[in-house]
Structure 1
Amino acid sequence: MRLHLITVGEPKLAYARSGWDEYEKRLRRYHKLQVSRVTGKTQAAESEAVRRAAGRAPLILLDPRGRQYSSEDLSAYLDAQALAGQGELALAIGGPDGHTAELRAGAHALWSLGLLTLPHDLAMLVMVEALYRAATISAGEPYHRG
């Protein structure tokens, strides 16, 4: 399946950039991957840029109102989407103010990384690692031991 990762901005801190690069490289072994970095001067402009970048792909927004997944549940969800014929999923992390209500309302799904508020750089890193972990679970590989 093709995963289109859309972020408002990119990791700025060295640890996050390094981690993103590592897990992006690992994730490419399991999925066709596209990464889009968008910008906007306002929350509305950022959300519009996310919507445009996603195109016609089902859009999954990272949002605190979303569903929380265990690693196994995320793996099963992605597998189910692939089996349902979703050739591509777009996953998006918004800017500091999140996504607009309009973008949330039109999203395929909302995914929450948890109840904690994470810095933007760390949220991006957690997302890409979680996707990699889910891919290794689906492949039956030993990366995930939980």
Structure 2
Amino acid sequence: MRLHIITVGEPRLAYARAGWDEYEKRLRRYHRLQVTRVTGRTQAQESEAVRRAAGRAPLLLLDPRGTQFSSEGLSAYLDAQAVGGVGELALAIGGPEGHTDDLRAGAHRLWSLGQLTLPHDLAMVVLLEALYRAATISAGEPYHRA
């Protein structure tokens, strides 16, 4: 399955850039990966740019109102999407103001990384690490230890 990661902006801090690069490289061993960086001056412009970038792919929005997954649960969700014939899944992390209600309403699913507020740069790294961990669980590899 192809994972299309859509972010508003990109990691700016050195630790986040290094983390992003590392987990992007690792994740590419398991999924075809496309990364799209969008911008906008307003929340509405950012959300519209995310919508355009996702195209027809089911959109999984990172949002504090969403479902929290365990690592195993995320792995099972991604596997179910692939088995169900989803060829591409778009995952989007918004800007500082988050996503608009309109974009949320049109999303396939909302996913929360947890109740903590994370800096944008760190949330981007956590997203990729979570996807990588889920991929190794699906592959039966020892990266994940419960």
TM-score range, shorter chain: over 0.9
Name the structure 2 match of 1:74. Answer: 74
SS in 1 for 2:67: strand
Work out the CA distance in 2 between the residues paired with 1:17 and 1:110. 25
Shift of 1:11: 0.1
The 2-side partners of 1:66 and 1:13 are apart by 27
- For normalisation by structure 2, the TM-score amounts to 1.00
Partner SS state of residue 116, structure 2: coil
AA in 2 matched with 1:145: R
Amino acid at match of 1:57: A
TM-score by length of 1: 1.00
Shift of 1:40: 0.1
Distance 2:51 2:17 in 1: 24
**Matched residue, 1:139:** 139
Aligned to 2:60: 60
Work out whether 1:101 is the aligned partner of 2:93: no
Equivalent residue runs for 1:1-146 within 5 Å: 1-146=1-146
- Measured in 2, the distance between the counterparts of 1:65 and 1:105 equals 12
Aligned residues: 146
Structure 1 Cα separation of the partners of residues 41 and 65 of structure 2: 24
Structure 2 counterpart of 1:29, one-letter code: R
CA shift digits 1:47-67 (9 cap, x unpaired): 000000000000000000000
- Which stretches in structure 2 are left out of the alignment for 5+ residues? none
Q: CA deviation at 1:124?
A: 0.3
CA RMSD of the aligned region, Å? 0.3
* In structure 1, C-alpha distance between the alignment counterparts of 2:120 and 2:6, rounded to whole Å: 13
Q: What is the alpha-carbon distance in structure 2 between the residues aligned to residue 69 and residue 60 of structure 1? A: 13
Task: Measure, in 2, the Cα distance between the counterparts of 1:89 and 1:109.
Answer: 11
Secondary structure, in 3 states, of the residue corresponding to 2:62? strand
Q: Which runs of 5+ in 1 are unaligned?
A: none
Instruction: List per-residue Cα deviations over 1:99-132 (Å, max 9, x = no partner).
Output: 0000000000000000000000000000000000
How much does 1:136 deviate? 0.1
Listed one character per residue, the Cα deviations across residues 24-56 of structure 1 (whole Å, up to 9, x for unaligned) are 000000000000000000000000000000000
AA in 2 matched with 1:95: G
Deviation (angstroms), 1:145? 0.8
CA distance in 1 between partners of 2:15 and 2:28 (Å): 20
* Letter matched to residue 137 of structure 1: I
